[in-house]
Chain A
Amino acid sequence: MAQNIVTEATPYRTRPTMPPVLRGFLWAAIGFLVLNMATIAVDPFRGHPFITEISAVIGWVGGVIGWLLGVGGWEGVVLPLFGVPNPWVAAPGWRKYLELSTEHKVIGIQYLISSTGTFGIAGLLAMGIRYELMQPSLHFFTYPDQYLTAVGVHGTLMMFAVGTVALVGGLGNYMVPLMIGAKGTVFPRLSGIGHWLVPAGVLTVIFSPLFGYWTTGWRGYEPLASQDPSGIIYYYLGVAALTLSSTCVAVNLAATIVFHRSNGVTWARLPLFVWGILTVSLLNLIWLPEIQMTFVLGLLDRLVPFNFFDAIGSPLNYLSLFWLFGHPEVYIVVVPALALWNEIIPVMAQKSLFGRSWAVIGLIFVMMLSGLVWAHHMFTNMRNSEMFPFSFFTEMISIPTGFSFLAAIGTLWKSRYRLFTPGLLVIMSMFNFLVGGLTGVFLADPPVNLEVHNTFFVVAHFHYTIIGGMVFTWVAAMYYWIPKLSGRMYNEFWGKLLAIVIFIGFNGAFSQMFLLGLHGMNRWVPAYPPYLKPMNYEVSLFAFLLGAGFIGHGIHLWWTWVKGPVTPDNPWNGRTLEWLTTSPPPPENFNGEVLVTGSFYRYDIDKPAAVLHPPE
C-alpha cells in the first residue's frame, strides 16, 4: 500500500545496508543460535550435543523470526507497529521482489517465483524418483530411506508450496484485488510477511534430510514417524511455516473480497476466480489450523515423548486427523483451477458464461462437502460401519464438481472458441481432470478401493487431479495473464507446442500408472518385482518428456516477461476488471474510480461491464 512506501526524499535511511535476503539469512543464523543456546542453557540434562532435537525446534523458531525481520519485517512491520514510519523506499526494478513488500502485485509475483522455484526442485526430485523406478532394484539412490525421503520432500513441497500456493498466494494475490476493482488489500503487511514464510518453509523441508532421512512420505504417518530420525522434525516445522503463509493469504484475501470490492461489484457479479479464492480461503481458514495442531501433537509425541499415536495410544487417530485436513487440501488445490476454467473459457469463446450460478454453487458445495469425505483414505483400516457414510459423501462430491464441467460445456457450445495457448490448455486440463474425477468414482467404492488403495492406481488418480487439473490450469492462467503481468505477449507457436508436449508426457506417464497399480505395483518402493519393469520404464520416459516440457514453459514465460513483444492492455477482449487497467497495472491498480454497471460474463451486450472515471 502506498502509505507505507515513502516516495520522496526523506531524512531516513532509504536503503538497508545489505541486501535484505542476505540480511535475512544472517539474522536467521543469529536467531537460531540465540534460541538454541538459550535452550541448551536451561537443559536439565547437560552433556547433550550442542544441538538437540528440542533446541533445534526452538532454535528454528528463532531462525524464522530472524529471517522474517531480516528480509524487511523489522522496518516494514515491527517499526510501524510502534508508530515509527518505515524508513525504506521500495527498491526499484527486480530488487523489489527480493525484499518485504506491501503491494499485492509484488507479493503475487513473489509467491509465483517461490512456487515456480519449488516446483522445479520438487519436480527434479520426481525425475530422480522416476529414474530410480526404471530398474526393479536400487540403482540410483544408495539407501531405500533416501528414496523415501525424496518421495516425502517431493510430496510435501508440491502440496504445501506449489499446489496450495501458486493459484492462491500467487495469482490470487495479484489478480483478486484487480478483479474486484480494489486499490490494495486489507492486510498488506501480513500479506507481505506471509510470503517470506514460503522460502523459510521450503528450505526447512529441503534440508530436513541433513538431520536424517525420514521415511513417511508427505503424510507423516504415525507411529512410523516416531521411529524416524530427527529429519522428520523439520518436516513438521517446514509445513508449519508453509501453512502459516497460506493462512495469512486466506485471511487477507477473504477480508479483501468482503470489504474492498469497488462500486457495483455485487456478490451476484463477483468474478468466478474470486469466488474460487473466497471458497478456498474459507477452506484454508478452517483446515490449516487443524493440520498445524495435528503436527504440533506429532512433534510433542516425539519430543516429550507422549504416546498419542503408537500402539499404546491410537495410530488411527493420527490418520483421521491428517486426512481431516488432507482431503479438503486437494480441493484447496483444485477449486481455484475449476474456477479459472470458467474465467478463461468465456473470454476465449467470446460467449456468455453458461449457468453462472451453477458454477458458483458447485464451488461452494465442494467446499462444504470436502470436510465430510476424509476417511475414504482409510477404507483399509476403518470399522465396517463407517464405510457407508464416507463412500456416500465421496460419491456425492462428484455432483458439485461436475457443475464446473456443466458451465464450461454449456459455454463452449456453438461458440467461436479461440484456440490460443490458454484456451488449449484449459481444454487439456478438463480432459485430465475428467480422468482424475472418474477414476475417483472407482476409489469411492470400498471393494474396489481395497484392491487399488496404496497402489500406483491411486498415484495416477491424484496426479491426474493435481497436475492434470491444477498445474495445467496454472500454466493456462500464466499464458492468459502474462500480458497483464508484463505488458508483453508470449509466442503462440512455442506456447502451443509446449502445451502439446506436456499433454503427451503427462498422459503417457500417468495413464500407464493406472495399469501398473491394477497389476500389483504398490507405493513407496524403490524396488519392485521385475515383471513390472517394462511399463515402469515407459512411464519414466514419458515423465522425462513431461519434465522437459515444464522447463520449456518456464523458459518461454521468462522470455515473454523480459523480451516478448509489447501487447495492448486488453489483448483477449476480456470483460473482467483486470483488463480495464494498463498492463502492467499502476501501483494503485486503476488510474481513477471503477464503477461496475453490468455483468462480466455477458458477451451479448456491447456496453462494457465497467467504466473507469479518471481522477479529477
Chain B
Amino acid sequence: MGEVVGFVVVWIILSLLAEWGLSAVKAHTLYDVIASQGFLAERAFNFLATWLTPVFVFVVVYLIYVLIRFHAPNGKPERSRSQFIRNKGFVAFWVGFSFFVNILFWLHPTSADLEQMFASDMPSRNHGDLIVDVTARQWEWIFSYPQYKVTQAVNHLGEDELELPVGRKVEFVMRSYDPFHTYDVYAGVIHDFWIPAFGTKEDVIPGITRYEYIRPTVLASYKTNPMVRVQCAEVCGPGHPWMEAPVSIVTPSHFSKWIKHQQTLEAHAGG
C-alpha cells in the first residue's frame, strides 16, 4: 500500500506542475487566433489538454517509476513476490474513468461546441452578413464581393487578396471549378479553404457549393502575421503549396475605402 501512496503522491504533484505549465501557455496553444470559430477551437483544445494532462503524466510517471523502482538490477530472471492477475478496484477505476472521460469529452466540448457552431450557420442568424464568393481553381483563390459588385479583388500587384472588416460576420460561398475552363470536368479537384489564424478550415469540393460562417474579431494582416493567409490545405497537384493569398482584417472605414478602390479598378479594367 505504501508503494501505491508514494506513486500517487508523485503523480499528483507532477500533474499539478504540468497543469501550471499548461496554464502559462493556454493563451497561445493555437498560436494566433483572430476569429470566433478559432476561439471555440482553442477553448476546446485547452479543455481537452487540461483533462488529458493528468492522464499523460500518470502513464509517463508510471513508466519512469517502473524503470527506477521495479527493474531487476542484474537482469537475472527473478519472479516477483506479488503475482496478482486481477485487482477489481484498479480495473473498475480504469474502465470507469475511461468511460467517464470519453463521454464527458463527447458532451463537452464536442457536442456543446458543435451545437454552437451549427447555430451560427443557421440562416436566421446570418442576416446582413458580408458575402464573399470564394472560387478555388488550380491554383488560385478568387474572391468576389457580390454585394459590392466586385468580381475579383486584387492588390496593387494584381494578385488575389482577401480583405475583411473586423467584427462583421462573413459568409463564404465556396465552389471548386475553373472559371476559365468550364468545359473540362477534370479541372475541378478538392481544395481546402484554410486561414490558419481563423482556427477552422473547410474543403471546397467540385460539384458542391459549401458555406462557412465566421466573424473576425481582431485587426490583423498577412504583412505582420503569416498565419493570416488563405492556404490550400488539401493536396491539389503540383501548385498546391503556392495556392495561397494574403488576408487583411481592417477597420470598417478602411474596408469601405478598399471596396471603392476595387470598384474603380474593375471599372477601368480592360479599358
Q: Which residues of A are in contact with B by a Cβ distance under 8 Å?
A: 143-145, 148, 215-217, 221, 223-224, 226-227, 307, 310-312, 314-316, 349-356, 358, 380-381, 384, 387-388, 391-392, 395-396, 398-399, 402, 405-406, 409-410, 412-420, 427, 430-431, 434-435, 438, 441-442, 444-448, 450-451, 453-455, 518-520, 522-529, 531, 572-573, 601-604
A614 to B206, CA, bound (A): 69
Are B206 and A453 in contact (CB-based, < 8 A)? no
**Which residues of A have CB within 8 Å of B206?**
223, 310-311, 315
Are B238 and A434 in contact (CB-based, < 8 A)? no
Q: Which residue of B lies closest to A316 (CB)?
A: B205
Are B77 and A418 in contact (CB-based, < 8 A)? yes
Q: Contacting A384 at CB < 8 Å: which of B31, B55, B114, B241? A: B114
**Which residues of A have CB within 8 Å of B60?**
431, 434
Are B63 and A526 in contact (CB-based, < 8 A)? no
Are B75 and A420 in contact (CB-based, < 8 A)? yes
Are A398 and B78 in contact (CB-based, < 8 A)? no
With A451-B201, A527-B242: A384-B121 Cβ-Cβ less than 8 Å: yes
Q: Contacting B188 at CB < 8 Å: which of A223, A356, A358, A392? A: A223
Are A315 and B40 in contact (CB-based, < 8 A)? no
Q: Contacting B200 at CB < 8 Å: which of A392, A445, A447? A: A447
Q: Contacting B114 at CB < 8 Å: which of A311, A316, A354, A446? A: A446
Number of A-B contacts (CB under 8 A): 270
Q: Is B84 an interface residue (CB 8 A)?
A: yes
Least Cβ distance of A415 to chain B in Å? 5
A445 to B186, CA, bound (A): 33
**Which residues of A have CB within 8 Å of B117?**
384, 446-447
Total contacting residues, chain B, CB less than 8 A: 92
Q: Give me 5 A-to-B residue pairs in the complex whose CB atoms sit less than 8 angstroms apart, sorted by A's number.
A: A395-B102, A402-B94, A418-B77, A451-B30, A572-B77
Are A454 and B110 in contact (CB-based, < 8 A)? no
Q: Is B180 an interface residue (CB 8 A)?
A: no
Are B240 and A418 in contact (CB-based, < 8 A)? no
Known A448-B48, A529-B229; further 11 A-B contacts with Cβ < 8 A: A217-B235, A307-B185, A350-B80, A356-B85, A435-B56, A447-B40, A447-B113, A448-B45, A522-B231, A525-B240, A528-B241
Least Cβ distance of B243 to chain A in Å? 10
Q: Which residue of A lies closest to B82 (CB)?
A: A414
**Which residues of A have CB within 8 Å of B82?**
413-414
Q: Which residues of B are in contact with A by a Cβ distance under 8 Å?
A: 3, 29-31, 37-38, 40-41, 44-45, 48-49, 52, 55-56, 59-60, 62-63, 66-67, 70-72, 75-87, 90-91, 94-95, 98-99, 102, 105-106, 109-111, 113-114, 117-118, 121, 176-177, 185-190, 192, 194, 196-197, 199-203, 205-208, 210, 226-227, 229, 231-242, 244
Are B226 and A526 in contact (CB-based, < 8 A)? no
**Which residues of B have CB within 8 Å of A604?**
79, 83
A601 to B202, CA, bound (A): 50
**Which residues of A have CB within 8 Å of B186?**
223, 226-227, 310
A395 to B48, CA, bound (A): 12
Q: Contacting B79 at CB < 8 Å: which of A351, A445, A451, A526? A: A351
Q: Which residue of A lies closest to B212 (CB)?
A: A450
Are A314 and B70 in contact (CB-based, < 8 A)? no
Are B72 and A144 in contact (CB-based, < 8 A)? no
Least Cβ distance of B140 to chain A in Å? 16
With A310-B206, A395-B110, A451-B199: A224-B235 Cβ-Cβ less than 8 Å: yes
**Which residues of B have CB within 8 Å of A398?**
98, 102
Are B105 and A445 in contact (CB-based, < 8 A)? yes
Are A448 and B188 in contact (CB-based, < 8 A)? no
Least Cβ distance of B250 to chain A in Å? 21
Are B70 and A518 in contact (CB-based, < 8 A)? no
Q: Contacting A573 at CB < 8 Å: which of B52, B77, B194, B205? A: B77
A145 to B239, CA, bound (A): 9
With A223-B206, A310-B185, A310-B186: A447-B44 Cβ-Cβ less than 8 Å: yes
**Which residues of B have CB within 8 Å of A442?**
45, 48-49
Least Cβ distance of A207 to chain B in Å? 20
Q: Which residue of B lies closest to A381 (CB)?
A: B203
Q: Which residue of B lies closest to A530 (CB)?
A: B226
Least Cβ distance of B89 to chain A in Å? 11
Among B76, B99, B186, B202, max chain A CB count under 10 A is at B186
**Which residues of B have CB within 8 Å of A355?**
85-86, 91
A21 to B193, CA, bound (A): 50
Least Cβ distance of A145 to chain B in Å? 4
A418 to B77, CA, bound (A): 7
Are B240 and A311 in contact (CB-based, < 8 A)? no
Are A441 and B190 in contact (CB-based, < 8 A)? no
A356 to B186, CA, bound (A): 54
**Which residues of B have CB within 8 Å of A453?**
201, 233
**Which residues of B have CB within 8 Å of A215?**
235, 237-238, 240
Least Cβ distance of A569 to chain B in Å? 14
Q: Contacting B59 at CB < 8 Å: which of A316, A430, A603? A: A430
Are B239 and A144 in contact (CB-based, < 8 A)? yes
Are B55 and A381 in contact (CB-based, < 8 A)? no
With A419-B75, A518-B29: A447-B37 Cβ-Cβ less than 8 Å: yes
Q: Contacting A431 at CB < 8 Å: which of B63, B91, B118? A: B63
A316 to B240, CA, bound (A): 20
Are A519 and B235 in contact (CB-based, < 8 A)? no
Q: Contacting B234 at CB < 8 Å: which of A438, A454, A528? A: A454
**Which residues of A have CB within 8 Å of B207?**
310-312, 314-315
